[in-house]
């Protein structure tokens, strides 16, 4: 397993190089002189020339790429044009906000989706099955932008059960350590703040969780139905095992293998969806960070933001593959 | 005479499908005595597996349902037993080995885990004791390197080894009755002989009654004392093995015996019964075998014969032998 993990990570190297190349050229494919665009039409010749020099734009492309890669490998993402701060330092709080929201949403989606799928399969054609699958059908076709707005209007504006926007109470801000606020508040023992943080997470988290939850529920159900027809499930029952264990031990571990694929894919899409949701709920996440940078033509930030998001996609894929191997002993580590 | 351990009376198991009612098992009678090996034979699709699943209470439902008859285990009617009682009986009193050794073990759990699970379900033992018992039973069924196998996954074992594990798992709680549903059909010939030897030995050593389901009369001749012949969901003849081979009475049994390849006279062509097994439920009236029977006469198409006792102690369902 260890060797397999290492090999799997090494296989990422060409993927990462490819990704960095794409991002590198994409930015440079935008017509016009970046320095001019950044500074605006009124800027003086000298100012543009100076910026071209700081950005290294006068070097040939391979030299630029080489420098860019060298910086990347040393963890240097360049400086933001807008704030002049190093992006590698600036990006983390935004990234952490998105990560927390996505993981929170995925947690809800997996816990509810998987269990709904299991119960629907176990009691196939029961009223629970019908209701759950109807909801799932509605869920998969739900535009999350609209859902987010509706939730905000109903539960935050009309009923005032949840805050409308942000990650924390402005009057009682969290002292950030990791910038993952659930963790931060727990290690500081600030359970009052933990509650506020969870309340802020609820609405955007639910909006984000809806589609993955519905897809996971449907996938779990069909996968479970197939597994529960198999011979080894009959064997488990022939031993005298109670149905609960037949379902949650013998069936689930097998049925989870295809569900894992879906979770991996959805986790990737979730990050995309997070950007929409972040806009609605004013969530200070990576989506907002990139979005604001686009408005300001802050190229280094756009470039690094995209790269970080792409890196997350690749990491999720890696994790899914490693989990496969951990669950299914038939996957040969070669 | 001791009372039978398992006594199945007039069992009917139907499937209620979109295409209609399928009487897969339609009036099956048989019993097994303590320590006896009973053979159940019949062509593919005659209801052997559904019969054994009915006894285990594992008929897939829906669409299947036991609609009639009794399954008496030591006098207790299992068709009326509740779920909890059935779970106590499964594995502990009546165990089953399946037709498909390749797919009958859970691919994502180690052999040891699956064996120990079976042991600890019916015994309040700690892990250590269960582990030792599992290793012991694996050695008993002739699995080499038992300790090592405990930590293997099913895909690392051959079909023969997997079937031995299945036998070990079925025998581990010392059941009163072991139902073996074509335990060797999926295995190659040399392995088949080994598995049959093993089962014969276990039967001698543990006094477990075995119901040996097969469509191979050779297996029956080798293993069993008594034999039940099934055709289209019904028992059509029941007799001791010697009677069946010497004096088969039902025309279907006669055909079956004739179609066994005989090593002594080298006939070129094997006899085979003309026609095919009718779809369950397709023949509503008369003898199920009538369309294929060379002795069929008017009455056979009009009235359904019952399973009747014969003078030599066998039972036959045929108008030629009934009154
Ligand atoms: N789940 C099911 N739904 C509908 N019909 C079924 C189902 N399972 C079995 N049957 C019917 O029951 C009949 C008997 O099947 P069974 O599996 O008992 O045959 P068998 O004697 O074990 O045959 P084989 O030697 O091939 O194992 C078949 O004709 C089949 O059509
Ligand atoms: S009852 Fe008639 S048709 Fe049926 S087996 Fe006997 S002789 Fe043949
Ligand atoms: Mg069968």
**SS3 for B49?**
helix
With an 8 Å Cβ cutoff, is A1 touching chain B? Answer: no
Mean pLDDT on B17-29: 87
Own/partner pairs, B279-284, CB within 8 angstroms, 24+ separation = B280/B22, B280/B23, B280/B24, B280/B26, B280/B45, B280/B47, B280/B232, B280/B233, B281/B20, B281/B21, B281/B22, B281/B23, B281/B26, B283/B232
Q: Is B45 in the pocket of ligand 1 (CB under 6 A)?
A: yes
Q: How much is the pLDDT for A332?
A: 65
Instruction: Report the residue from A231, A327, A328 with minimal CB separation from B100.
Output: A231
d(CA A277, CA A117): 26
Instruction: Report the residue from B60, B92, B166 with minimal CB separation from A240.
Output: B92
Instruction: Report the residue from B89, B96, B106 with minimal CB separation from A232.
Output: B106
- Domain positions in chain B are 4-93+175-316, 102-174
**SS3 for A304?**
helix
d(CA B213, CA A245): 29
State which ligand 2 atom lies nearest to the alpha carbon of B301: 3
- Tens-place pLDDT, residues A133-164: 999 999 888 888 888 888 888 888 888 888 88
B275 within 8 A of B296, measured Cβ to Cβ? no
B16 within 8 A of B65, measured Cβ to Cβ? yes
Closest CA to ligand 1's atom 18: B47
Backbone angles phi, psi at B11, to 5 degrees: -65, 130
With an 8 Å Cβ cutoff, is A303 touching chain B? Answer: no
- Ligand positioned closest to the Cα atom of B60: 1
- Tens-place pLDDT, residues B248-288: 888 888 888 887 766 445 555 556 777 777 777 777 788 88
Measure A325 CA to nearest chain B CA, in Å. 11
Q: Looking at the predicted structure, is the pLDDT value of residue A12 above 60?
A: yes
B195 within 8 A of B164, measured Cβ to Cβ? yes
Beta-strand runs (E) in chain A = none
What Å distances lie between residue B169 and B101, B111, B115, CA to CA? 12, 10, 6
* Chain B environment of A327 (Cβ under 8 Å): 108
SS3 content of chain A, % helix, strand, coil (to 5): 75, 0, 25
The lowest-confidence range among A213-222, A233-242, A248-257, B57-66 is B57-66
Mean pLDDT (chain A, rounded): 86
Closest CA to ligand 1's atom 22: B49
Residues in a beta bridge with B16: B21
A55 within 8 A of A34, measured Cβ to Cβ? yes
- Domain positions in chain A are 35-76, 92-327
* Chain A environment of B87 (Cβ under 8 Å): 240-242
- Ligand positioned closest to the Cα atom of B15: 1
What ipTM describes this predicted complex? Answer: 0.86
* Chain B environment of A231 (Cβ under 8 Å): 98, 100, 103-104
Q: Looking at the predicted structure, is the pLDDT value of residue B50 above 90?
A: yes
Q: How much is the pLDDT for B269?
A: 53
How would DSSP label each residue in B116-157? Answer: HHHHHHHS---HHHHHHHHHHHHHHTT-SSHHHHHT--GGGS
B32 within 8 A of B211, measured Cβ to Cβ? yes
Closest CA to ligand 1's atom 5: B15
SS3 content of chain B, % helix, strand, coil (to 5): 35, 25, 40
Residues in a beta bridge with B96: B179
DSSP assigned state of A302: H
Measure B94 CA to nearest chain A CA, in Å. 9
Q: Which residue of A has its CA nearest to B175?
A: A239
- Tens-place pLDDT, residues B180-192: 998 887 777 787 8
Instruction: Report the residue from A232, A239, A329 with minimal CB separation from B91.
Output: A239
Q: How much is the pLDDT for B299?
A: 84
Q: How much is the pLDDT for B263?
A: 47
High-pLDDT (> 90) share of chain A, %? 26
Tokens 């053979």 sit on residue: B39
- Residue A238 pLDDT grade (very low, low, confident, very high; cuts 50, 70, 90): very high
- Residue A31 pLDDT grade (very low, low, confident, very high; cuts 50, 70, 90): confident
Nearest alpha carbon to residue A235 among B191, B81, B131, B165: B165
d(CA A10, CA A60): 29
Query: Architecture of A92-327 per CATH?
Result: Orthogonal Bundle (1.10)
B173 within 8 A of B119, measured Cβ to Cβ? yes
With an 8 Å Cβ cutoff, is A223 touching chain B? Answer: no
Tokens 């543990």 sit on residue: B206
Backbone angles phi, psi at B16, to 5 degrees: -105, 95
Q: How much is the pLDDT for A333?
A: 55
Measure A230 CA to nearest chain B CA, in Å. 8
Asked, as a colleague might, if the bond just before B63 is cis with ω within 30 of 0, I would say yes
Q: Rank A298-312, B152-166, B282-296 by mean pLDDT and report only the highest.
A: B152-166
Q: How much is the pLDDT for B267?
A: 53
With an 8 Å Cβ cutoff, is A258 touching chain B? Answer: no
Instruction: Report the residue from A234, A240, A250 with minimal CB separation from B87.
Output: A240
Token representation of residue A158: 């009309």
- Ligand positioned closest to the Cα atom of B299: 2
Q: Looking at the predicted structure, is the pLDDT value of residue B205 above 90?
A: no
With an 8 Å Cβ cutoff, is A254 touching chain B? Answer: yes
* Chain A environment of B58 (Cβ under 8 Å): 234, 237-238
d(CA B170, CA B98): 10
Q: How much is the pLDDT for A164?
A: 81
d(CA B81, CA B87): 10
Mutational pocket test of ligand 1: of B44, B45, B101, the residue with most ligand atoms within 8 Å of the beta carbon: B45
Q: Looking at the predicted structure, is the pLDDT value of residue B304 above 70?
A: yes
**SS3 for B82?**
coil
Q: Looking at the predicted structure, is the pLDDT value of residue A273 above 80?
A: no
Q: How much is the pLDDT for B93?
A: 92
Q: Looking at the predicted structure, is the pLDDT value of residue A112 above 50?
A: yes
Higher pLDDT, A30 or A185: A185
Q: How much is the pLDDT for B261?
A: 67
Q: Looking at the predicted structure, is the pLDDT value of residue B1 above 60?
A: no
Mean pLDDT on B128-132: 91
Token representation of residue A307: 């790269």
State which ligand 2 atom lies nearest to the alpha carbon of B319: 1
Nearest alpha carbon to residue A214 among A247, A262, A157: A262
The radius of gyration of chain A's CA atoms, rounded to the nearest angstrom, is: 24
Token representation of residue A115: 């269990």
**SS3 for A53?**
helix
Mutational pocket test of ligand 2: of B274, B320, B323, the residue with most ligand atoms within 8 Å of the beta carbon: B320
Taking an 8 Å cut-off on Cβ atoms, the answer to whether B121 and A239 are in contact is yes
Q: How much is the pLDDT for A220?
A: 96
Taking an 8 Å cut-off on Cβ atoms, the answer to whether A254 and B89 are in contact is no
- Residue A237 pLDDT grade (very low, low, confident, very high; cuts 50, 70, 90): very high
Taking an 8 Å cut-off on Cβ atoms, the answer to whether A241 and B109 are in contact is no
With an 8 Å Cβ cutoff, is A70 touching chain B? Answer: no
Would you tell me which CATH number, out of the four given (3.40.50.300, 3.40.50.12780, 3.90.1150.10, 1.10.240.10), belongs to the domain B4-93+175-316?
A: 3.40.50.300
B271 within 8 A of B258, measured Cβ to Cβ? yes
d(CA A14, CA A22): 12
Report strand pairing: B94-97 vs B308-309.
unpaired
Mutational pocket test of ligand 1: of B14, B28, B50, the residue with most ligand atoms within 8 Å of the beta carbon: B50
Nearest alpha carbon to residue A287 among A295, A303, A276: A276
Instruction: Report the residue from A234, A240, A253 with minimal CB separation from B91.
Output: A240
d(CA A198, CA A104): 9
- Ligand positioned closest to the Cα atom of B230: 1
Q: How much is the pLDDT for A103?
A: 92
B184-196: b (≥16 Cβ within 10 Å) or e: bbbbeeebbebbb
- Tens-place pLDDT, residues A57-107: 788 888 888 888 888 888 888 888 888 889 888 999 999 999 999 999 999
Beta-strand runs (E) in B74-120 = 76-77, 94-97
Measure B85 CA to nearest chain A CA, in Å. 10
- Residue B210 pLDDT grade (very low, low, confident, very high; cuts 50, 70, 90): very high
Taking an 8 Å cut-off on Cβ atoms, the answer to whether A235 and B107 are in contact is no
What Å distances lie between residue B234 and B12, B31, B50, CA to CA? 9, 14, 12
């Amino acid at each position: 397993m260890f060797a397999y993990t290492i090999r799997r990570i090494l296989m990422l190297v060409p993927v990462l190089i490819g990704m960095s190349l794409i991002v590198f050229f994409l930015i440079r494919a935008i017509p016009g002189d970046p320095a001019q665009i950044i500074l605006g039409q009124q800027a003086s010749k000298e100012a543009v020339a100076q910026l071209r020099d700081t950005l290294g734009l006068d070097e040939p492309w391979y030299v630029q790429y080489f420098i860019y890669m060298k910086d990347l490998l040393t963890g240097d993402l360049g400086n933001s044009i807008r704030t002049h701060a190093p992006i590698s330092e600036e990006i983390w709080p935004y990234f952490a906000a998105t990560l927390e929201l996505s993981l929170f949403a995925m947690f809800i989606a997996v816990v509810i989706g998987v269990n709904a799928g299991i119960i629907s399969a176990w009691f196939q054609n029961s009223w629970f099955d019908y209701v759950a699958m109807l909801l799932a059908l509605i869920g998969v076709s739900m535009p999350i932008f609209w859902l987010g707005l509706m939730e905000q209007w109903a539960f935050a504006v009309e009923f005032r059960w949840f805050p409308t926007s942000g990650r924390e109470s402005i009057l009682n801000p969290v002292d950030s350590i990791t910038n993952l606020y659930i963790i931060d508040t727990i290690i500081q023992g600030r359970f009052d703040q933990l509650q506020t943080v969870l309340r802020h997470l609820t609405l955007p988290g639910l909006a984000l969780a809806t589609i993955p939850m519905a897809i996971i529920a449907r996938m779990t159900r069909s996968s479970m139905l197939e597994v529960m027809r198999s011979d080894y499930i009959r064997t488990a029952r022939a031993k005298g095992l109670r149905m609960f264990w037949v379902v949650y031990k013998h069936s689930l571990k097998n049925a989870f293998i295809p569900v894992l694929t879906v979770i991996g894919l959805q986790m990737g899409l979730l990050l995309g969806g997070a950007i929409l949701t972040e806009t609605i709920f004013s969530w200070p996440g990576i989506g907002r960070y990139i979005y604001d940078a686009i408005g300001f033509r802050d190229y280094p930030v756009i470039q690094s933001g995209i790269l970080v998001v792409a890196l997350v996609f690749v990491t999720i894929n890696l994790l899914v593959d490693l989990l496969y191997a951990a669950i299914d002993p038939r996957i040969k580590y070669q | 005479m001791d009372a039978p351990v398992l006594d199945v009376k007039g069992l009917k198991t139907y499937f209620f499908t979109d295409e209609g009612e399928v009487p897969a098992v339609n009036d099956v009678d048989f019993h097994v005595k303590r320590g006896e090996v009973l053979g159940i034979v019949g062509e593919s699709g005659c209801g052997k597996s559904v019969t054994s699943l009915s006894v285990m209470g594992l008929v897939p439902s829906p669409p299947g349902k036991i609609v009639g008859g009794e399954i008496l285990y030591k006098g207790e009617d299992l068709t009326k037993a509740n779920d909890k009682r059935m779970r106590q009986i499964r594995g502990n009193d009546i165990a089953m080995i399946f037709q498909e050794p390749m797919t009958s073990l859970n691919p994502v759990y180690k052999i040891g885990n699956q064996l120990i699970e079976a042991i600890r379900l019916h015994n309040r033992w700690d892990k250590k004791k269960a582990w030792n018992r599992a290793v012991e039973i694996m050695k008993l069924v002739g699995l080499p390197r038992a300790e090592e196998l405990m930590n293997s996954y099913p895909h690392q074992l051959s079909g023969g080894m997997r079937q031995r594990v299945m036998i070990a798992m079925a025998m581990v709680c010392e059941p009163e009755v072991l139902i073996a549903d074509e335990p060797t059909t999926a295995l190659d010939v040399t392995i088949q002989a080994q598995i049959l030897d093993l089962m014969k030995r276990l039967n001698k050593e543990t006094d477990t009654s075995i119901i040996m389901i097969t469509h191979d009369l050779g297996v029956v001749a080798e293993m069993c004392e008594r034999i039940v012949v099934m055709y289209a969901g019904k028992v059509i003849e029941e007799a001791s093995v010697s009677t069946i081979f010497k004096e088969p009475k039902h025309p279907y049994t006669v055909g079956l015996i004739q179609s066994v390849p005989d090593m002594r006279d080298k006939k070129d062509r094997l006899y085979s019964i003309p026609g095919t097994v009718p779809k369950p439920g397709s023949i509503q009236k008369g003898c199920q075998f009538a369309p294929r029977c060379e002795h069929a006469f008017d009455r056979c198409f009009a009235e359904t014969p019952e399973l009747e006792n014969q003078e030599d102690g066998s039972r036959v369902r045929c108008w030629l032998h009934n009154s």
